[in-house]
Amino acid sequence: MLKFVYLNSDWSNQKRLFKLVSAGFDPLAFLNFNIGDLRYWRLLIASFLLSAL
């Protein structure tokens, strides 16, 4: 949880994360999140909204 927030706190780290995702990187496996965790989905949606700005 904190790792994902930290990545989102720095724009260069966020861009690096999205490059990995677009290359087929699986953030669920990397961050060990439960796919049913609503807090994870809120962070994921927020990160995509931030990336669209």
Give yes or no for a contact between 8 and 43, defined as CB atoms under 8 angstroms apart.
Answer: yes
How many structural domains compose the chain?
1
Mean pLDDT for the stretch of residues 5-28: 60
Residue 33: pLDDT over 60: no
Residues 6, 10, 12, 13: what is their CA dihedral angle, to the nearest 10 degrees? 0
pLDDT for res 50: 82
Helix (H) or strand (E) holding 47: helix 38-52
pTM over cut 0.75: no
pLDDT for res 45: 79
The boundaries of the domain holding residue 11 are 2-52
pLDDT for res 47: 82
Mean pLDDT for the stretch of residues 14-38: 60
